[in-house]
Chains A and B, each alone.
Chain A
Amino acid sequence: MLSTVLTALPADSDWINFDVPSLMQNFWSATFDGLTFGAIYALVALGYTLVYGVLNLINFAHSEVFIMGCYAVFFTLSFLGFGPSAPNLGIGAIILNLLLALIAAIVASALTAFLVERLAYRPLRKRNAPRLVYLITAIGASFTIQYLIFLWRGPLPEPALTMFIPTPIFEVFGTIIDSQQIIIVVAAVIMMVVVDQFIRRSRTGRGIRAVAQDPDTATLMGVNKEKIIVTTFIIGGVLAGAAALFYVMKIPSGVQYNGGFILGIKAFAAAVLGGIGNVRGALLGGLLLGLIGNYGQILLGSSQWTDVVAFVVLVLVLLVRPEGILGTSLGRSKA
Chain B
Amino acid sequence: MNRKKVMTTIATVATLGLLLGGCANQAAAPGASSAGAGGGLNLDVPVLTSIETPKDAVLPAGDGKATCPSTTTLAYIGAETGANAQLGINIFNGIQLAINEHNKSNPGCQVAFKKFDTEGDPTKATGPVTQATKEDDIIGVIGLPFSGESKATGNIFEQVKLVHITPAATNPGLTTNGWTTFFRGLGNDAVQGPAAATFMTKTLGAKNVYLVQDDSDYGIGLGATTTAALGTALIGSDKVTTGQKDFSATISKIMNSKADAVFYSGYFAEGAPFDQQLVAKGFKGAFVGPDGVKDDQFIKQAGDASANAFFTCPCIPGELIPSFASAYSALTNSQPGTYSIEGYDAATVMLAGIDKGNQDRAKLLDWVKNYDASGLSKHYKWDDKGELQAPAVYGYRVKDGKIVPIGAIG
Q: A-side interface residues toward B, CB under 8 Å?
A: 22, 25-26, 29-30, 33-34, 36-37, 83-86, 91-92, 94-95, 98-99, 102-103, 106, 155-157, 159-162, 164-171, 176, 178-180, 182-183, 186-188, 190-191, 194-195, 198, 202-204, 231, 234-235, 238, 242, 250-254, 259, 262, 293-294, 297-298, 301-304, 306
Choose among A162, A238, A252 the residue with the greatest number of B CB atoms under 10 Å from its CB.
A252
Mark contacts of B12-38 with chain A using CB atoms, 8 A cut-off: 1 yes-contact digit, 0 otherwise: 011111111111111101111100000
> Once the chains bind, are A194 and B256 in contact (CB under 8 Å)?
no
- Write the nearest CB–CB distance from B220 to chain A, whole angstroms: 11
Interface positions of B from 27 to 72, Cβ below 8 Å from A: 27, 29-33
Task: Pick the most buried of A84, A99, A157, A238: most chain B CB atoms within 10 A of its CB.
Answer: A84
From B3, B17, B249, B301, residue with most partner A Cβ within 10 Å: B249
CB neighbours (8 Å) of B281 from chain A are: 166, 178
**18 A-B contacts, Cβ less than 8 Å apart?**
A26-B252, A91-B25, A94-B22, A95-B15, A167-B29, A169-B24, A169-B29, A179-B21, A187-B13, A187-B17, A191-B14, A191-B17, A198-B9, A251-B246, A251-B273, A297-B250, A298-B253, A303-B240
Q: A202-B6, A262-B243 are in contact. List 4 more A-B contacts (CB 8 A).
A: A84-B300, A194-B6, A204-B3, A303-B238
Whether A183 contacts B245 by the Cβ 8 Å rule is no
Q: State whether A168 and B239 are in contact (beta carbons under 8 Å apart), knowing that A37-B246, A251-B246 are contacts in the complex.
A: no
Nearest chain A CB to B365 CB, angstrom units: 34
- Once A162-B303, A302-B238 are accepted as A-B contacts, the answer to whether A168 and B15 lie under 8 Å apart by CB is no
Q: Which residues of A have CB within 8 Å of B401?
A: 84
Q: Which residues of B contact A (CB under 8 A)?
A: 2-3, 5-7, 9-11, 13-27, 29-33, 81-83, 85-86, 215, 238-241, 243-250, 252-253, 255-256, 269, 272-273, 276-277, 280-282, 297, 299-305, 401
Contacts of B31 in A (CB 8 A): 168, 171, 176
Distance in Å: Cβ of A230 to nearest Cβ of chain B: 9
Q: A156-B83, A168-B32 are in contact. Are A85 and B303 (CB under 8 A)?
A: yes
- Contact at B272–A253, with CB atoms within 8 Å? yes
Which residues in B have their C-beta under 8 angstroms from that of A30? 248-249, 252
Counting residue pairs across A and B whose Cβ atoms lie within 8 Å, the total is 199
Write the nearest CB–CB distance from B35 to chain A, whole angstroms.
9
- Partner of A160 from the list B10, B17, B276 (CB cut-off 8 Å) is B276
Contact call A187/B14, Cβ cutoff below 8 A: yes
- Flag if A194 contacts B13 (CB, 8 Å): yes
Decide: A186 and B25 in contact? CB cutoff 8 A.
no
Chain A residues contacting B30 (CB-CB under 8 Å) are 168, 170-171
Whether A186 touches B302, Cβ cut-off 8 Å, given contacts A202-B5, A304-B215, is no
Task: Tell me which residues across on chain A come within 8 A of B27, comparing CB atoms.
Answer: 169-170
Contact partner, A99, options B18, B248, B273, Cβ 8 Å: B18
Known: A168-B30, A254-B273. A26 touches B14 (CB 8 A): no
| B304/A162 in contact, CB under 8 A | yes
A183 touches B21 (CB 8 A): yes
Give the dominant DSSP class at A's interface.
helix
A25-B256, A37-B248, A168-B32 are known contacts. Are A84 and B304 too (CB-CB below 8 A)?
Answer: yes
Q: How far is the CA of A252 from the CA of B9 in the complex (A)?
A: 27
**Given the complex, which residues of B lie within 8 Å of A171, measured CB to CB?**
30-31
Task: Select from chain A the residue with minimum beta-carbon distance to B26.
Answer: A91
Whether A84 lies near B303 (C-beta < 8 A) is yes
Instruction: Give, as a whole number of angstroms, the nearest-CB distance from B404 to chain A.
Output: 17
Once bound together, how far apart are the Cα atoms of A204 and B3, in whole Å?
Answer: 8
Report whether B14 and A242 are in contact in the complex, using a CB–CB cutoff of 8 Å: yes
B238 in complex: contacting residue of A98, A180, A301, CB < 8 Å: A301
When distances are taken between beta carbons in the complex, the residues of chain B under 8 Å from A167 are 25, 29
How distant is the Cα of A254 from the Cα of B239 in the complex, in angstroms?
A: 20
A22 contacts B253, CB within 8 Å? yes
Query: Nearest 3 CB-CB pairs, A to B?
Result: A187-B17, A183-B21, A84-B303
Which residue from B26, B240, B248 sits with its C-beta under 8 Å from A33? B248
Q: Do B301 and A159 touch across chains, with their CB atoms under 8 A apart?
A: yes
Could you say which residues of chain B place their CB within 8 Å of the CB of A234? 3
> Inside 8 A of A182's CB, which chain B residues have their CB?
20-21, 24
Instruction: Report whether A161 and B255 are in contact in the complex, using a CB–CB cutoff of 8 Å.
Output: no
Tell me the smallest distance from the CB of B403 to a CB of chain A, in Å. 15
Which of A25, A155, A231, A306 is within 8 Å of B249, CB to CB? A306
Residue of A at shortest CB range from B83?
A: A155
CB distance A253 to B252 under 8 Å? no
Is B16 touching A190 in the complex (CB atoms < 8 A)? Answer: yes
- The answer to whether B253 touches A204, judged by C-beta atoms less than 8 angstroms apart, is no
Q: Which residue of A lies closest to B247 (CB)?
A: A303
B273: shortest Cβ distance to chain A, in Å?
5
CA distance A191 to B252 in the complex (A): 28
- B6 and A235: CB pair below 8 A? yes
- In the complex, what residues of A have CB within 8 A of residue B25's CB? 91, 164, 167, 169, 179
Q: How far is the CB of B90 from the nearest CB of chain A, in Å? A: 14
In the complex the two chains form, is A186's CB within 8 Å of B21's CB?
yes
The smallest C-beta distance from A80 to any residue of chain B, in angstroms, reads 15
User: Closest Cβ of chain A: how far from B337's Cβ, in Å?
Assistant: 14
In the assembly, what is the distance between CA of A117 and CA of B218, in Å? 44
Give the distance to chain A from B20, nearest Cβ to Cβ, in Å: 6
Residues of the B chain whose Cβ atoms lie less than 8 Å from the Cβ of A250: 246, 277
- Min CB gap B3→A, angstroms: 6
* A301 CA to B13 CA, complexed, in Å: 39
Q: How distant is the Cα of A171 from the Cα of B29 in the complex, in angstroms?
A: 9
Q: B19 — which chain A residues lie within 8 A by C-beta?
A: 95
Contact A202 B2 (CB under 8 A): yes
- Which chain A positions have C-beta within 8 A of B247? 303
A33: chain B residues at CB < 8 Å are 248-249, 252
Tell whether A86 pairs with B304 under 8 Å between CB atoms, given A234-B3, A251-B245, A301-B238.
yes
Closest chain-B Cβ to A129's Cβ sits at a distance in Å of 27
Neighbouring A residues of B301 by C-beta, 8 Å: 157, 159-160, 252-253
Instruction: Knowing A194-B10, A253-B276, say if A183 contacts B256 (CB, 8 Å).
Output: no
CB distance from B23 to the nearest CB of A (A): 7
**Measured CA separation A217–B385 after assembly (Å):** 77
Chain B residue nearest to A170 (CB atoms) is: B30
Residues of A contacting B24 with CB < 8 Å?
A: 169, 179, 182
